[in-house]
Chain A
Amino acid sequence: MDRTLLDFWVGLFVTLGIAALFALALKVSNSEGFSRGSTYTVVASFNNIGALKVRAPVKSAGVVVGRVSAIHFDNKTFEALVSMQLDSRYTFPKDTSASILTSGLLGEQYLALDPGGDSHNLVNGDTIKITQSAVVLENLISQFLYNKASDSGNQNNGGGAAKAGVKP
């Protein structure tokens, strides 16, 4: 084959391949947008974190403002310690509360920040005091069933007593 034609086709192929890679990088992936920008770390402790994972989003008013960077177990207080990296573009008051919520009914869990009214802001290394743990579905269901069971138990007992009353 003619050399210039060969060069042309190979050039086209390589350009196409690199263009596909660029398209994958720009159009398909998020290139980890702001995790490269400057961040500050804040810690919060929870009784139960449910299924929260590292790299889960931290949202405030529905907007992603950071990511969970590490999850540890504190062996003194027996609570979960969640460290999160927040974008330094966003500041929150000292008395901000953190809660673990679920996106949708079966979606993944995320950390929600609810800003308070303090005039001082959270800085690097601070701890969020007010936290609300994840809702564990099994506990909810068992509580519900327990209530149901005790209700029907009361009714049965009442019925039994009435019957006993009728029969001499």
Chain B
Amino acid sequence: MKPNNLFSRIGRLSLNSITRLGTATRFLLQVLMRSGTSWRRFQLIIREIYSSGVLSLIIIVASGLFVGMVLGLQGYQTLQTYGSAQSLGVLVALSLVRELGPVVAALLFASRAGSAITAEVGLMKTTEQLQAMEMMAVDPIARIVAPRFWGGVISMPLLAAIFSMTGIYGGYLIGVRLLGVDDGTFWSQMQSAVSFREDILNGVIKSTVFGFAVTAIALFEGYDAVPTAEGISRATTRTVVTSSLAILALDFILTAFMFRGA
């Protein structure tokens, strides 16, 4: 390949990605500006909370339970070496509330609800339902996109909280019921180490940010999809990949800000 050709390819690639980022930002701003209708017709948001929140509940509860149980087993093995198996509750609760709860719940949410949103909106675009709405003077962003966005943003922190709580009970099940850590020590050590403002509230903030990012990416990919069958499949894949990477990168940034030192 000639160097001239190589450079023009790099240039085209970066220009394209910058344009795409700009389009996505404008799209997000439009969604935020036109979401008044969906808040006035709250039934629209409730429907979306059902499809992205309630339907994700089973996978969230099951994964939370298993993640908690694995934490209980692994943590017990490691802590036992130092003779401090009583701190198992602290380990399980802090790792779930600070990191695993928001992050794993958001990753599951991206693959369960985000992909569904992209596929749905992309198919609406392919079958020209969005244009049809515009023809009838119904704003598709206000009627289709905004309710899905707020439904996802509301569902995500609730799902993360449910994930953390089932995870802690999973750790309790393994640690206390199976491996014989003392019941009272498990909870009291946890209570003295976990603080509401520093740990739990920061976890809630994290999961809200993740919900924001995942639904925004999913909606944009769906709305921007090439209106063919292949285009939808590509958009769905891109949603899962991009939002997973976004979750992990955002998690690093948020953690660096929230849990610095102390």
* Among candidates A20, A31, A54, residue contacting B161 with C-beta atoms closer than 8 Å: A20
On whether A28 and B97 interact (CB within 8 A), knowing A13-B57, A17-B162, the answer reads: yes
Interface of B is mostly: helix
A3 near B43 (CB under 8 angstroms)?
yes
Does B212 sit at the interface, judged by CB under 8 A? no
Does A130 sit at the interface, judged by CB under 8 A? no
Q: Mark B124-148, 1 if CB is under 8 A from A, else 0.
A: 0000000000000000000000000
B195 near A24 (CB under 8 angstroms)?
no
B53 near A24 (CB under 8 angstroms)?
no
Does B221 sit at the interface, judged by CB under 8 A? no
* Among candidates B162, B197, B199, B262, residue contacting A16 with C-beta atoms closer than 8 Å: B162
Does A72 sit at the interface, judged by CB under 8 A? no
- Bound-state CA distance A106–B79 (Å) is 13
Q: Which of A4-12, A119-127, A148-156 contacts the other chain?
A: A4-12
B199 near A10 (CB under 8 angstroms)?
no
Q: Which of B21-29, B185-193, B229-237 contacts the other chain?
A: B185-193
Would you give the shortest CB distance from B165 to chain A, in whole angstroms? 4
Does B104 sit at the interface, judged by CB under 8 A? no
Chain B: residues with Cβ within 8 Å of the partner, total of 33
Would you give the shortest CB distance from A69 to chain B, in whole angstroms? 13
Does B200 sit at the interface, judged by CB under 8 A? yes
B49 near A29 (CB under 8 angstroms)?
no
Give the top 7 A-B pairs by smallest Cβ distance, nearest first: A17-B158, A20-B165, A20-B161, A29-B196, A29-B194, A31-B196, A21-B161
Interface residues of A (CB under 8 A from B): 1, 3, 6-7, 9-10, 12-14, 16-18, 20-21, 23-25, 27-32, 53-55, 106
Interface residues of B (CB under 8 A from A): 43, 46-47, 49-50, 53-54, 57, 82, 93, 97, 155, 157-159, 161-162, 164-166, 168, 187, 190-192, 194-197, 199-200, 204, 262
List 20 additional contacts besides A13-B57, A18-B161, A53-B262; criterion CB under 8 Å.
Answer: A1-B50, A6-B47, A9-B54, A10-B46, A13-B53, A13-B155, A14-B158, A17-B159, A17-B162, A21-B161, A21-B200, A23-B165, A24-B161, A25-B200, A27-B187, A29-B194, A29-B195, A30-B191, A30-B196, A54-B262
